[in-house]
Structure 1
């Protein structure tokens, strides 16, 4: 049994929750979750990696068990979430690390890499988009409409993403056997985003997502220049970020490892046993053992 610690840290005036496991002197791997979940999505991955790595999985501000100041008290942007993540890692003494990014975790991870390229030892992207080609228009059209104009109509449409049915859809769409996905996942996430005031936090981040695609050209230049070891492991049934988004990484990192697996947006829920060996092989080949 691997001991997984559940901890809080005070950074930049905010209390952040994180899961942490593995030897403190081992190469670090930072797991960055997406919407609408938290480090809960990594509850099984953390112990699977912790035998050889120092694994850290934070909850972003406004998610999971981290502080969730109101949208009036805190300006929720991906820049701000990145600053908090960087401050947490500095607080923990982690200066060099691999990142695992998924969904919202991707734009946070990309900012970390752009702000401090030397800090990133490797990249694992699991349905974490970095290319225009990855967006599935049928899903994102509602988000783009809300970003362009906040009206009662566009807000009502985007608020559907906060419903239990929409969160359940995220978990089950593209999964060959939906019975493999625990219903606790979508009920857990829905309960947290339904806390009073959390809706306005999520609406702010839906709006701020418009800042992410403009970063892509800089990110692509970073990938071409620094050539970080990169693994794209993707649920090919995802109807939010399409498999084309995974394949696109190979255009900037020719030796990227790209694996399209049967599964959906939250691939770990149904294909953990397939994903873990891919990650361990990749990290074993990519990270030095003396860090």
Structure 2
């Protein structure tokens, strides 16, 4: 077991901050975080997986400690985030990997799978949605935003992004023991990083662009159906953003997908990393 180390690499004109653990001689497991988190989300999981895997977790542009030069004029779309993650992998010479997707990381990871289908050895989704069935009531306002891109709805999304209690609630609502196991620095760090100049605008742009992910759900599903990668679904059953029917839906395209609904909310991993590590290690031992 090894504690995560940190590093930075220049890729796609962006200085990407990332965490890694384990030996690069072992099979690689790529961890893709969600909104509004970063690789920090995986800090307690990575040591538990590092005994058998080389675990790598980048921060996307606009998230965590990745630095985007102003001269880069970066446009915050999921297509561009996917390109940046791909160039990050190229910079580290990672060509084959198991993939852990969560929240925003799901469309990034699945877009990456469409581009590099032979690179993916297995897929682990933790509240990483790819089906209409998984979109809960929380998506009502974003859906209206997608349809109109109105200034009023853009302001409503901005208000959500800048609301500390909403950021905290994503961690603690529905979590085990009412969120008592969640380390408070996680949501305080997320919120602090959201306050940096330009970041709120980037997040609002990404929420608007999320409509393109929903439009691509049929392509993601076709990839799953045709390639049938080994799939582990470990899903916080109390998530109100990506609801449990989204977890079960993976079995439509990968019938032997392993589905576990765990006691937890949207940030289900936080505070119960040992539970997830056990599921992941047992799954990869069987499938790889």
- Cross-structure match for 2:17: 17
SS of 2:10's partner is strand
SS of 2:60's partner is coil
- Cross-structure match for 2:200: 199
Superposed CA offset, 1:226-253 (max 9, x none): 1100000000000100010000001110
- Cross-structure match for 1:94: 94
Asked if 2 retains the 8 angstrom alpha-carbon contact of 1:32 and 1:57, the reply is yes
Asked if 2 retains the 8 angstrom alpha-carbon contact of 1:62 and 1:69, the reply is no
Aligned-residue offset at 1:150? 3.0
Whole-angstrom distance in 1 between the partners of 2:154 and 2:12: 31
- Are residues 21 and 68 of structure 1, via their aligned partners in 2, closer, same or farther at CA, if it must alter by over 3 Å? same
Aligned-residue offset at 1:270? 2.8
Structure 1 residues 263-272 or 79-88, which shifts more? 263-272
- Cross-structure match for 1:61: 61
* Superposed counterparts of 1:38-187, under 5 Å: 38-69=38-69, 73-137=73-137, 139-162=138-161, 163-177=163-177, 178-187=179-188
Aligned-residue offset at 1:101? 0.4
Superposed CA offset, 1:83-104 (max 9, x none): 1111111111110101000000
Whole-angstrom distance in 1 between the partners of 2:168 and 2:269: 15
Instruction: Give 5+ residue unaligned stretches, structure 2.
Output: none
Superposed CA offset, 1:119-165 (max 9, x none): 0000000000000000002x111112222223332122112321101
Asked if 2 retains the 8 angstrom alpha-carbon contact of 1:160 and 1:166, the reply is no
SS of 2:180's partner is helix
Aligned-residue offset at 1:18? 0.6
Whole-angstrom distance in 1 between the partners of 2:135 and 2:214: 10
Superposed CA offset, 1:184-238 (max 9, x none): 1111100001111111111110111010011111111111111100000000000
Asked if 1 retains the 8 angstrom alpha-carbon contact of 2:100 and 2:125, the reply is yes
Whole-angstrom distance in 2 between the partners of 1:5 and 1:181: 22
Aligned-residue offset at 1:71? 11
Whole-angstrom distance in 2 between the partners of 1:54 and 1:72: 31
Asked if 2 retains the 8 angstrom alpha-carbon contact of 1:68 and 1:198, the reply is no
Asked if 1 retains the 8 angstrom alpha-carbon contact of 2:4 and 2:43, the reply is no
Aligned-residue offset at 1:54? 0.8
SS of 2:55's partner is strand
Aligned-residue offset at 1:3? 4.1
Whole-angstrom distance in 2 between the partners of 1:4 and 1:168: 24
Whole-angstrom distance in 1 between the partners of 2:2 and 2:151: 49
Aligned-residue offset at 1:176? 3.4
Whole-angstrom distance in 2 between the partners of 1:95 and 1:176: 37
State the TM-score, normalized to the length of structure 1: 0.95
Asked if 1 retains the 8 angstrom alpha-carbon contact of 2:33 and 2:41, the reply is yes
State the TM-score, normalized to the length of structure 2: 0.96
